[in-house]
Amino acid sequence: MNAKGTAYKYGDNVDTDVIIPARYLAIQDREELATHCMEDIDKDFVNKISKGDIVVAGKNFGCGSSREHAPLVIKVSGVSCVIAETFARIFFRNAINIGLPIIECKEASEKIDDKDEVEIDFDSGIIYNRTKNEKYKGQPFPEFMQKIIKAEGLINYINEKSE
Amino acid sequence: MSKPMTMTQKILAAHAGLPYVEAGQLIEADLDLVLGNDITSPVAITEMKKMKENSVFDKDKIALVMDHFAPNKDIKSAENCKCVREFACKHEISNYYDVGEMGIEHALLPEKGLTVAGDAVIGADSHTCTYGALGAFSTGVGSTDMAAGMVTGKAWFKVPSAIKFNITGKPSKWVSGKDVILHIIGMIGVDGALYKSMEFTGDGIKYLTMDDRFTIANMAIEAGGKNGIFPVDELTIEYMKEHSKRDYKIYEADEDAVYDEEYTIDLSELKSTVAFPHLPENTHTVDEIEEPVYIEQSVIGSCTNGRIDDLRIAAKVFEGRHVKKGVRCIVLPATQSIYLKAIEEGLIKTFIEAGAIVSTPTCGPCLGGHMGILASGEKCVSTTNRNFVGRMGAIDSEIYLASPAVAAASAVKGYICTPDSL
């Protein structure tokens, strides 16, 4: 499984309130919700993201609320993977549970610049920076979590397990 | 010979049916309670409908609380509550709390006796970690975990390592649980306890009321923690006996349990503390503030600080005083029972005579929902838990997190201060 796209870079502690502000949380339609993705940190986000693009951030990405709307709007926006030095734990769970690929890698988080072309091999955890011709070793997921991601989320995983 | 475990690890081992667990291990644990609110439950209900097996595992072990945008602030939030109400009715959920019975979930559940020491609880709300004050393992999850939990009664966890906070000394007059946790977050940072348990221990805990402990455990998530947990003492047992008919189980950390880090917090040295925008780690003690921070609003309430002790402290500050002209002070008792007690004790009269308003229980302004949204450039001192960009309204508004004592005193003076300066 691979992801490939243009990287868009953000800083440390990107919280779920800026990823999807609470004023939109009553919206149930996921496409409509996603039009507000990252609105309070980057008003232009939804216009510049193309399908497959990659979000790169620093420490503690997704801190704050447990709202699953946060990884969901990122996924629905077309982002193929979020790379961060670390993720807040509820965001980490939620991303896996809804099938949004994420990967922790300090080196990639530091060295990838805005608009670099990036490719990720999820099986090996290797992140290729095609613009800078560099590669970084990310933390591959334990087998259990890979199974959930491959099933595209926890619900499918549980359904498959019950078969 | 058995290997040592932390308090959290012992609770998780017991719920996973294992004699021993260690940090990093992936386990599946049985749950004593699964919680959701009016924002997260509709998403969970949608996910649950996709499951092949989609009946609830135990109708008595699910709690659904309509608190965030309730009483409904608009049509969409009304539709969300309706969706949850219909679900609760269909599945005969015994702990469904709507307007009239509801309160802010993390004040309500302990008050209703739904969580006790030794429990393993998940909630689709990040502040579910509050019940650690009772000696339970409780942690926030998302809606999909909630859906899976409602059906299977189980959740997967990575067993956390822990940080130990040794609490010593006795706090001075206006120092409360909020100052303790803000001090800790300021010290270790908003990711200082990432993926970890925050285990509190030490002689000083006896000086912390249950409400102080709820406040401290509540904000463990603001340091990135998986959970915050207190040992069970006489005060905890008294609280549980008053509120719950359920059996509790006391777990204690082994003396030789391994911790990643250890800190000592001397309560006698703490001062009133405020977190400046836009992160809870940006803490300053009030006496360090050089330029006065003038405010337009003061919020006293939330799952962090809307309990009876919080209201008593605020009322004591307001007694015989008045909110500064130009400041809007909003008091939100966290539950109906707290509200009623505040009426009986005359606290509500004090608030209204002081020029504050009193709202029905709701999360409301804390997450920028309703009942006190900020305009651009406005500053608010608030007893809530997050001061992120745009959290309470306009993206250039500012939130200063503080204790009820500081929020009340600041409302009187019009700038951030402690009651000592009144």
Give the span between the Cα atoms of B281 and B104, in whole angstroms: 24
Give the span between the Cα atoms of B104 and A44, in whole angstroms: 35
Q: Which chain B residues are closer than 8 Å to A11 by Cβ?
A: none
pLDDT of residue B267: 98
Do the Cβ atoms of B32 and B121 come closer than 8 Å? yes
Give the span between the Cα atoms of B35 and B109, in whole angstroms: 9
B332-351: pLDDT as tens digits? 999 999 999 999 999 999 99
User: How far, CA to CA in Å, does B295 sit from each of B242, B271, B413?
Assistant: 39, 21, 9
Minimal C-alpha gap between B344 and chain A (Å)? 34
CATH class of B273-421: alpha beta
**What's CA B46's distance to the chain center, in Å?**
26
- What's the predicted TM-score (pTM) here? 0.97
Domain locations along chain A: 2-161
Residues 68 through 107 of chain A touching chain B, CB cutoff 8 Å: 68-69, 71, 86, 88-90, 93-94, 97-98
Q: How many CB pairs below 8 Å do chains A and B form together?
A: 132
Taking residues B232-259, what's their average pLDDT?
Answer: 98
Minimal C-alpha gap between A33 and chain B (Å)? 13
The residue count for chain B: 422
Give the span between the Cα atoms of B379 and B185, in whole angstroms: 22
Helix (H, G, I), strand (E, B), or coil: what is residue B239? helix
| 3-state per-residue secondary structure call for chain A | CEEEEEEEECCCCCEHHHHCCHHHCCCCCHHHHHCCCCCCCCCCHHHHCCCCCEEEECCCECECCCCCHHHHHHHHCCCCEEEECCECHHHHHHHHHHCCCEEECHHHHHHCCCCCEEEEECCCCEEEECCCCEEEECCCCCHHHHHHHHCCCHHHHHHHHCC
Encoding tokens for residue A123?
Answer: 């099986």
CB contact under 8 A, B53 and A162: yes
Q: Which chain A residues are closer than 8 Å to B221 by Cβ?
A: 90
Between residues B54 and B310, the one the model is more confident about: B310
Taking residues A50-68, what's their average pLDDT?
Answer: 97
pLDDT of residue A41: 96
pLDDT of residue A122: 87
Taking residues B245-258, what's their average pLDDT?
Answer: 97
Taking residues B316-336, what's their average pLDDT?
Answer: 98
Residue carrying the six token digits 């929020």: B407
CB contact under 8 A, A155 and B148: yes
pLDDT of residue B286: 98
Superfamily grouping for domain B7-265: Aconitase, domain 3 (3.30.499.10)
Give the span between the Cα atoms of A106 and A108, in whole angstroms: 6
User: Looking at A144-158, B21-35, B139-153, which range is the least confident one?
Assistant: A144-158
Q: Which chain A residues are closer than 8 Å to B147 by Cβ?
A: 155
pLDDT of residue B1: 53
* A151 touches B at CB < 8 Å: no
B72-93: pLDDT as tens digits? 999 999 999 999 999 999 999 9
Looking at chain B, which residues constitute the CATH 3.30.499.10 domain(s)? 7-265, 273-421
Query: Over chain A, what is the mean pLDDT?
Result: 94
Give the span between the Cα atoms of A134 and A129, in whole angstroms: 5
Give the span between the Cα atoms of A95 and A82, in whole angstroms: 9
Probe site for chain B from A155, A159, A162, A163 (most B CB atoms < 10 A): A155
Q: Which chain A residues are closer than 8 Å to B126 by Cβ?
A: 64-66, 90
Per-residue confidence band for A142, with pLDDT thresholds at 50, 70 and 90: confident
B262-292: pLDDT as tens digits? 999 999 999 999 999 999 999 999 999 999 9
Which of B190, B367, B391 is nearest residue A60 as measured by Cβ atoms? Answer: B190
**How large a percentage of chain B has pLDDT more than 70?**
100
pLDDT of residue A152: 86
DSSP B375: P
pLDDT of residue B41: 98
Taking residues A102-116, what's their average pLDDT?
Answer: 97
CB contact under 8 A, A64 and B52: no
CB contact under 8 A, A60 and B191: yes
Domain covering A2-161 assigned CATH 3.40.50.2000 in the classification: no
Which of B142, B151, B195 is nearest residue A68 as measured by Cβ atoms? Answer: B142
List, in sequence order, every beta strand (DSSP E) within B147-201: 154-158, 162-168, 197-201
Minimal C-alpha gap between B88 and chain A (Å)? 19
Minimal C-alpha gap between B354 and chain A (Å)? 31
Question: Torsion over CA of A35, A39, A43 and A45, rounded to 10 degrees?
Answer: -60
In one-letter notation, the amino acid at residue A148 is: I
Q: Are strands A81-84 and A54-57 parallel, antiparallel or unpaired?
A: parallel
* A46 touches B at CB < 8 Å: no
B201-224: pLDDT as tens digits? 999 999 999 999 999 999 999 999
Nearest CA in chain A to B221: A64
Nearest CA in chain A to B83: A28
Q: Which chain B residues are closer than 8 Å to A19 by Cβ?
A: none
